[in-house]
Structure 1
Amino acid sequence: MDSQENTLELGKNEEVVNEEVTSQVETTENSEPAAEQAEEQTRVVYETKADVLHRLQDIAHGEEVPQKDEVEYLKSSFYKLHVAEREAKLKAYLDAGGDPEQYQYTPDEQEEAFKAEMGIIKEKRAKVFKEQEAEKQENLTKKLAIIDRIKAMVTTPDEANKNYKEFKALQEQWREIKNVPADKANELWRNYQLYVEQFYDMLRLNSEAREYDFKKNLELKTALCEAAEKLADEEDVISAFHQLQKLHQEYREIGPVAKEQREEIWNRFKAASSVINKRHQQHFEGVRAKEEDNLARKTVLCEKVEAIAAEENKGSGDWEKHTKQIIDIQTEWKTIGFAPQKMNVKIFERFRAACDDFFGRKAAYFKGLKETFKENAEKKRALIEKAKELQSSTEWKSTSDKFIALQKEWKTIGMVPKKLGDQLWEEFLAACNTFFEARNAAGAGARGEERENLEKKLGIIEQLKALATETGEEVAEKVQKLVDEYNAVGHVPYKEKDKLYKEYHAVLDKLYKDLNISVAKRKLNNFKQNLKNVAERGENALDNERTRLFRQYENLKSEIQTYENNLGFLNASSKKGNSLIDEMNRKVQKLKDDMNLIREKIKAIDAENKQ
């Protein structure tokens, strides 16, 4: 091969190197971080701890190599479910009225099994890691040996054609050897490319052999282009991306093609790769947008829970209402996917802190409420004992008053738990019913008497109505006599009392008006008629009544004097002043009328005493 051919071959080898480097750079686009994100988004969502444990056991006892990301995800999923389960048990205990300080977490067999499987996986990963590192060191040693062998070939240019088959075999060996330590990979690759280029520089193959090599490489790269182009139809964007990385690795390992075809074949492969990379990028842009939307939705839920937790709870009803609202929000939270990785833990901690604050204060409230319930129950039991002591009494009037007082006191006592409250109320009601049923049975005869009294009073009312048509001085005397008869009649049925009262006073008021008897005079007449009843109370009853009336008389007299003094200071120059003076004069006149009535009552007592 002459110098021109050597120069041409060197140019070709330079383009080969450039092509390989470009391919290597293209392959590193969107590599590990994006792939990890993709795997995170396509993970299974576990519903129970048993599901997580089952998957963990498959990894621990199966042949597959434990992947760190999946193991960490399983751990996170297990403890998220584990914590939720513990919180649900605590909530159920508190809702049932349990004491938070007495609550104890029971050992969880699934958690112990989980820890045991994690220990096995940890040992398994450590073993795999050690084996992988050893394999990488071994691969490094093999590739260094290949470089040394090619380097030795470069030093013997006369034997280049002779060494060509061995050189191709070394290239094949290089491709079959996989991972080496990451810190050695780039330098190792540069050295390998350097000596490969030098070997091609000195290679003196005949034109036919070189064309055959280029043709074979073109066929291999064309097949890779076709495979890359088919990946555009792959539905799984992540899988397509990973397959593309493998194609790039294979492309790098294939030798050069003819100079006039190099740019064309590379552009075709690069164009197919761009389609996959673009889809991959768009996929993660969508994922990131969805995560931002999830973060916004979760932030809104945090604000809702914080607002509910800040509201005042005036009683159990408010606590239960707000509890339901927060549980509904927690249910909605579970339907929302991941937030961005940097914020996912922070937003969950914010949400959980607000929920913990609410449920912690609720537990404290119901603990205090439990003590209040206990006190209220003791008070109601005491009333039940009193009611049972009274239920056999035959002193109907006084005992009825006592039962009514007990019922009023019962209403003032606060709440107790519903089941216990119903039981206590039934006991109390049974004692009340026992007494009132006995009283009603004993009062059956009294009701007959009340009906007779009703008939008597209705007859007196009819007589009073008849007097309305009569005239003469004796009418007033007849009215007073009927009034006395009416007052002497006993009780009437309770349901008829109000109706009878209205009818009686309507007739009486009309008669008094027709007879021109003033209200004060009627009050005085009624007072005089009741004096005998007062005198029957005891020997000092009239004197006591006179003393009471005299004090009332003196108080009215003093009050009138105060009003009259105040009137002397008022200015009547304005309309408002005149109105105030008129009002005060009316009050003074009313007080004087009341004072005169009391004076007449005192005189009546004095006349009764003389008799």
Structure 2
Amino acid sequence: MSEEKKPQDPSIEEHLEETAPAADRTMNAEIEALAAEANDTELSTEEVSENAAATTEAAPAETTAVTEEAPVEKKEVPKKDYTVLSKEELIAELQLLIKNERVTDIKDQVEEINTLINAQFDAAQEEAKRAFLAEGGNIIDFRFFSPLKKEFNEVYYEYRNKRQEFYERKRKDQNANLRERQDLIEEVKALRNELGGAESVNTTFNKFKDIQERWNNAGNIPRDRYNLVWNDYYFHIDAFYELLHLNRDFRDKHFKENLDKKLLLIERAEELGAEPNINKAFKELQLLHRMWKEEIGPVAREYSDEIWDKFSVATKKIHDARDEKQKEVEAVWVQNLEQKNEIIAKIKEVAQDDIKAHKTVQAKIKKVEALRDEFFKAGKVPKENNEETWASFKEATKLFNHKKNDFYKSQKKEQYDNLAKKQTLVKIAQEHKDSDDIPGTLDVMKRIQADWKKVGHVPRKDSDKIWKEFKEACNHFFDRMKDSKKQANAGEQENLEKKQALMKTVKEAKMTGERDADLTAIKAFIEDWKAIGRVPYAKKNIDQDFNKLLDGLFKQLDIDKKEAELIKYENRMSIMVDDEAAIERERFFIRKKIDEVKAEINQLENNLGFFQHVADDNPMVAEVHKNIARHKEDLNMWKSKLRKLRMAITESQKVEEEETTETEEAEDTSDS
């Protein structure tokens, strides 16, 4: 303001102590009344105006408002645990809030109800959509309607309309207050002309005080006009006081009254610095700033900066305490955020686990419900993380619910899929149960029995029936196989006796010394052995004993070792020709040996490259050539065995084809 600047009076404190009590009674009563009003309700930290921070930096003539509007008493409406309520209960709760509370007091409750009930509607819609698609519906044909959704929207729109009406009335009232304050500014401007007129200073000043009183009672104005109007008003107030220099005694008396009042405000602000309830202290501080700014006039210039500095120091102390308290609150919010993120991660982990049984699903449902309760009990999170955290929580629970629902929906479909698989296995068993190819069919039966065990449950009504069909077909085959084995065992025992007799004959045989005649005799022994057939499995080593006898006979002959080896190999082939698995193993073994011998020959030939300038009669070089020749002989032997193996397989296939043709011709003849 523009009071005349005077030298600082060092006796100001003493002077004030002598003069202040005369004005204290009225001022103290005002402060006590305002303090009582401030204590009626307690603001939460997030509700305190951030504009208050400006008071710690600005000088009195330049300061902006601590709060641009008078603090509005807000009723604390108790919050319930809405998370446990159904859609119907949430709608009923919203109706009660709208009916019994002011719309400005229930914003948090309404928004929480809106969030929760929409989450429930979203889940219901998603469930209906998945069921629709599971039944074969097309997504473009899907429609979802809920009477409860319509009812909720009507109630929620009622709240929105009432809130809109409230702010519309507030806007109109503020515009009316703006016009009133602008008129009061014009009246102050007019008073400046009256000071030089016929009216006394006292009369003019009484009019001025009336304007001030009406200004203080005028009410709030639009926020964007506040500072402009306030500065305009105090500009003209300041100008009015400048004109009072014509009556300095009157002006000084008024300055003194204002100084006393502002010192009382400073005293009260300093007391608030020790108030443990930060919200209470801050709200009352707002009232003190309002009184300082709007209800108390200027003081002498020499005191202006000093008292403002004192008031600012007291204000800063409260702001610092509030900031510190807010940091503590925000630290708790961060801890809550960490806890909620951990809970969300646990829900996602549960949702990602495979669900394989009803018992598993029930255990997971209980676990997710417990985590859900923990989430809602964890408390508030920082505002900037609130929506993201809530969305992550909904997504995690939605993921679990989808997986749970998919499991139960898939159970019925999976059981019918399993039924179709088992029906296929029954059909295979019935088609093979009378097959004469016992070994081949045995492999088939073993395979389908293993497949049967891998197939899961079928519908209960079909379970016994299909198992009975499968069991009967399998048992029919295995009974036939047992009978066949009994018959085969009798024939194999007879073959064993024949082979034992033949071995006795071979042992007693004497070679004549005539190579061709003796070789013919040995081949005859081999043919007789091949013609006898299988022996019991436990006596299969008799074939090895026979080959040893042949080795003894071949040694008595002047016969090439390779030729003798191939003759014995032919005998071996005749024994395994009916065993496809044995044939395949033999073929693999021979090919492997051929590859190994070829690799060895290549290695030896590469080694010769190191002896390019060494004579062939060198002992080391001669040894390498000898090894190469020996390996080439082995290679020829293995190739010969492979050819004989192929010939034996081909001959066996021809015999099977001829037997099949003869059987078909016999069947055709019998049919005709």
TM range (shorter): 0.5 to 0.7
Residue 509 (structure 2) aligns with: 473
Q: TM-score, normalised by structure 2?
A: 0.52
1:22 aligns with 2:63: no
- Match for residue 226 of structure 2? 185
CA distance in 2, matches of 1:414, 1:452: 35
* 1:501 maps to 2:540: yes
CA contact (8 A) 1:27 1:248 kept: no
> Is 1:147–1:191's contact at 8 Å kept on the other side of the alignment?
yes
Structure 2 residue 632 is the aligned partner of structure 1 residue 584: yes
1:264 deviation in Å? 4.3
Q: How many residues align?
A: 507
Task: Find the counterpart in structure 1 of residue 158 from structure 2.
Answer: 120
Q: Deviations over 1:497-523 (max 9, x none)?
A: 544313x23433444444547555557
Which residue is equivalent to 1:269?
A: 311
Q: Where does 1:375-386 land on structure 2 (aligned, <5 Å)? A: 381-385=423-427
Give the direction of change, closer, same or farther, for the CA distance of 1:92–1:126 in structure 2 (3 Å limit). closer
Change (3 A) 1:403 1:585: closer
Q: Please give the secondary structure, in 2, of the residue aligned with 1:245.
A: helix
Offset, 1:384: 2.8
Instruction: Please give the secondary structure, in 1, of the residue aligned with 2:145.
Output: coil
- Pairing 1:195-344 to 2, within 5 Å after superposition: 195-200=236-241, 201-202=243-244, 210=254, 213-214=257-258, 216-218=260-262, 220-226=264-270, 228-230=272-274, 233-234=276-277, 241=282, 243-252=284-293, 253-256=295-298, 262-279=304-321, 341=384
Q: Is the 8 A contact 2:171 2:222 kept in 1?
A: yes
Q: What is the alpha-carbon distance in structure 2 between the residues aligned to residue 586 and residue 20 of structure 1? A: 105
CA distance in 2, matches of 1:79, 1:20: 47
C-alpha deviations, 1:538-573, integer Å up to 9, x for none?
A: xxxxxxxxxxxxxxxxxxxxxxxxx9xxxxxx9997
Superposition pairs of residues 127-166 of structure 1, within 5 angstroms: 127-157=165-195, 158-166=199-207
Identity %, equivalent residues: 17
User: C-alpha separation between the residues in 1 aligned to 2:137 and 2:397?
Assistant: 16
Check conservation: 1:384, 1:431, Cα contact below 8 A.
Answer: yes
- When the two chains are superposed, the root-mean-square deviation of aligned CA atoms in Å is 6.9
Equivalent residues in 2 for 1:14-163, closer than 5 Å? 22-23=59-60, 28=65, 47=83, 50=87, 53=91, 56-66=94-104, 70=108, 73-74=111-112, 77-78=115-116, 81-82=119-120, 85-86=123-124, 89=127, 93=131, 99=136, 101=138, 104=142, 106-157=144-195, 158-163=199-204
Aligned counterparts, 1:364-443, within 5 A: 381-385=423-427, 387-388=429-430, 395=434, 397-398=436-437, 405=444, 408=447, 418-420=456-458, 429-438=467-476
For 1:106 and 1:594, the matched residues in 2 are separated by 73
- For residue 186 of structure 1, what is the amino acid of its counterpart? N
- Kindly provide the amino acid, as one letter, of the partner of residue 217 in structure 1: K
Aligned residues of 1:161 and 1:204 also touching (Cα < 8 A): no
> 1:594 and 1:122 mapped to 2: Cα distance?
92
Gaps in structure 2 of 5+ consecutive residues: 7-54, 72-78, 345-353, 357-363, 512-517, 556-563, 576-597, 599-604, 610-620, 652-672
Could you say which residue in structure 2 is the equivalent of 1:174?
Answer: 215
Taking the aligned partners of 1:376 and 1:99, their CA distance within structure 2 comes to 20
Alignment check: 8 A CA contact 2:191 2:204 kept: yes
Contact 2:194/2:204 (CA < 8 Å) preserved in 1? no
Aligned-residue offset at 1:186: 3.5
Say if 1:457 and 1:489, in contact at 8 Å, map to a contact too.
Answer: yes
CA distance in 2, matches of 1:67, 1:221: 31
Q: Report the secondary structure of 1:430's partner residue.
A: helix
CA deviation string 1:26-55 (max 9, x = no partner): 5557989xx9xxxxxxx9996467586566
Provide the rounded CA distance (Å) in 1 between the counterparts of 2:395 and 2:467. Answer: 47
Checking the alignment, whether the CA contact within 8 Å between 1:376 and 1:415 is kept in structure 2 is no
Q: 1:581 to 1:193 in 2, by over 3 A?
A: same
Q: What SS is found at the alignment partner of 2:219? A: coil
Q: Structure 2: how far apart are the matches of 1:526 and 1:419?
A: 49
Query: What is the rounded CA distance, in whole Å, between the counterparts of 1:260 and 1:22 in structure 2?
Result: 14
The AA in structure 2 aligned to 1:133 is R
Post-superposition CA distance 1:375-422 (Å, at most 9, x none): 9965653453454577xx7x4745885575476479789998x44499
Runs (5+) with no aligned partner, structure 1: 1-7, 13-17, 36-42, 303-314, 318-323, 492-496, 530-562, 564-569, 603-611
Aligned to 2:235: 194
Code of the residue aligned with 1:129 in structure 2: it is: Y
Contact 1:240 1:276 in 2 (8 A): yes
* Cα distance in 1, alignment partners of residues 174 and 228 from structure 2: 15
Name the SS for the 1:178 alignment partner: coil
Report 1 or 2 for greater relative contact order, CA contacts < 8 Å, sequence distance ≥ 6.
2
Offset of 1:217 from its aligned partner? 0.8
- Is the 1:229–1:272 contact (alpha carbons within 8 Å) kept by the matching residues of 2? yes
* Pairwise CA distance, 1:161: 1.9
TM-score (normalizing by structure 1): 0.56
Question: 1:270, CA displacement in angstroms?
Answer: 0.9
Contact 2:265 2:288 in 1 (8 A): no
Contact in 1 for aligned 2:175/2:221 (Cα 8 Å): yes
